[in-house]
Structure 1
Amino acid sequence: MPRKQPIITTTDIEDAIAAGIRQSRQPAPSTSEQLSGCALALLCIFGLGALVIAIVVAILYNGDMNSRNEAAKPGLHHLADPRTGIQIPRHPGWDDEMVFNGVALSYGEYGCTRGTCDRGAIQTGSTSAYQDAKNAAEGELKKWVAANYRDSKKHTELKATPVTIAGVNSYLVRWKVDSASQAGYAQVVAIPLSTGDFGTVAMHLNESPEAPKPEFMDQVITEIR
């Protein structure tokens, strides 16, 4: 059976023409509008990238400043003994001293019965006269006190204990020294060396308001390298 052909009326034609006219009257996006949209998108992308870069730069800058501040802190400068490799901290106010065995620092020079004395001193050395670090610390402390508190009458042992210096098991002995002219605190830490000898760090502080407090000795122990 033959299919009927659709009948197109005049009204259909008029409606199609009107729809085409309405479609053609709708404004299409102008070239400037399209460019503005692209520019806005690019600005957003570049702005986000710049923000990320600024954050990264700020983090790196702060880290660098923190490192510089850390390096600038007092007490982080060290004086190295070329014979033993031991390094002692050099704090503000402490001066280099010339010694034959090791390196040395002194603090607070003043006039005394011997001519010139110091309110504090730190000195490195080495010895092969002992079998273990404990005996080395005790023996060298006796010599140190005799050299720096010559008229000492007695002493009180404040510490005698193992310590770790730069990862090495060492030994520390500290005395409170009483003498006719000047009381004070003296200590020696003995550090085993790879040669079989012992490196030593001897220290004393006078009991004086012009000298560092005894607690400073504990600080120095933690800073020896």
Structure 2
Amino acid sequence: MSMTPPPGWYRDPSHPLAERWWDGTAWTEHRRQTSQQPSAGPEFPDGGSGRARAVALVVAVTVLVASIVTGAVLLDRGDDTGAVATNPEPPFASSSRPSPSTSLTPAPPPSEDPGVVVDELNGITFPLLDGWVRPENITEDDVVLTTPGTYDCPGDPGLCHHGRVISRTVTGNDEKSPEALAERDIAEAADSAYDRDILDRRPYDGIDSHKQVKAGPVAVAGRAGYFVRWQVRTAAGPGGYVQSLAFPAGVGSQALVIVRFAFDAGAAGPPPADMDRITKGIRPIGDADTGGGVGSSIGPSR
């Protein structure tokens, strides 16, 4: 009896330094770069019990042995000319080989609302607007939304997205003011989006200049928040818009949440107005009717 792993990113058999999306029944055409050698099988969370780590190790060893056996069988089955099968194998030993899928994005679980993206850590949901998809081909942590597809970065080699939205919980400081946090975060948000990425590459050859285009109070999921928006010009490419949005989380200690937006400028990038639409559509999990409050509209420019 064969066992089918759940949907997820696995080592791409035809591209060892990349991962490929397995939708639960077949390979899709989506791949993403990784900053380290991808794992040979399903990933297991860190920090589990000793039993969980032991089970993970046994499964990983089993998958590795199965891969070696499968490779040996394929080599032995070469035709009279010495040809070897080159079609990618699924990330497990199976009696049948699934055919590639042409699906563009992973389908959400049946229980998940297809119109929103859930941020469990901060107890909020993001609206999935037209022209936006769930994260794909992403190596950066905490990305909740991207524009579909990628393009070759105009600076250092790599793949870039025309738009990204990132959600993080603020820890390690005592800052309680959304305004102070947003004003302090915007420079780092701009640098991480358009100066140097997490691999220390410069996909846009760095930032030449910036200017603030908008800032003010705003209600987010019924709570008073604050945002700052910059326009940046880069040495390569069209530059873009970045925004830092800060507001209290709706769960736990209600620590501040920082949401970063990075939109390419120009016709290929998403409209900056999508920053306002996404902000307005953020809701607490399980409370889609929560509306505005203090500062219920996008605040004034300054």
Normalised TM-score (structure 2) = 0.46
Equivalence for 2:245:
189
Match of 1:93 among 112, 122, 131: 131
Greater CA radius of gyration, 1 or 2? 1
CA RMSD of aligned residues (A): 2.2
The equivalent of 2:161 in structure 1 is 118
Q: Does 1:137 align with 2:182?
A: yes
Equivalent residue, structure 1, for 2:144: 104
The whole-number CA distance in structure 1 between the counterparts of 2:265 and 2:191 is 17
CA contact (8 A) 1:154 1:178 kept: yes
Q: Secondary structure at the match of 2:189?
A: helix
**Residue of structure 2 in register with 1:70 after alignment:** none
Give unpaired runs (5+ residues) of structure 2: 1-113, 196-205, 284-302
The one-letter amino acid paired with 2:235 is A
Matches within 5 A, 1:54-73: none
Greater helix content: 1
SS at match of 1:173: strand
Partners of 1:139 and 1:176 in 2: how far apart?
A: 16
Contact kept in structure 2, 1:80 and 1:103, CA below 8 Å: no
- 8 Å contact from structure 2 (residues 143, 164) kept in 1: no
Is 1:199 matched up with 2:257? Answer: yes
Q: What's the counterpart of residue 172 of structure 1?
A: 227
Identity over aligned pairs, percent: 28
Shift of 1:141: 2.1
Give the counterpart letter for 1:141 in structure 2. I
Structure-2 change in CA distance of 1:152 and 1:222 (3 Å): same
CA distance in structure 1 between the aligned counterparts of 2:167 and 2:272, rounded to whole angstroms: 19
- 1:224 matches 2:278: no
Shift of 1:115: 0.8
Q: TM-score, normalised by structure 1?
A: 0.61
1:146 alignment partner, one of 186, 191, 205: 191
Seen in structure 2, the aligned counterparts of structure 1 residues 99 and 138 have a Cα distance that, compared at 3 Å, is farther
Higher strand proportion (structure 1 or 2): 1
TM-superposed CA distance for 1:111, in Å, is 0.6
Structure 1 segments unaligned to the other structure (5+ residues): 1-75
> Which has the larger displacement, 207-216 or 193-202?
193-202
**Matches of 1:140 and 1:82 in 2, distance apart?**
22
Which of 246, 271, 275 is 1:213 aligned to? 271
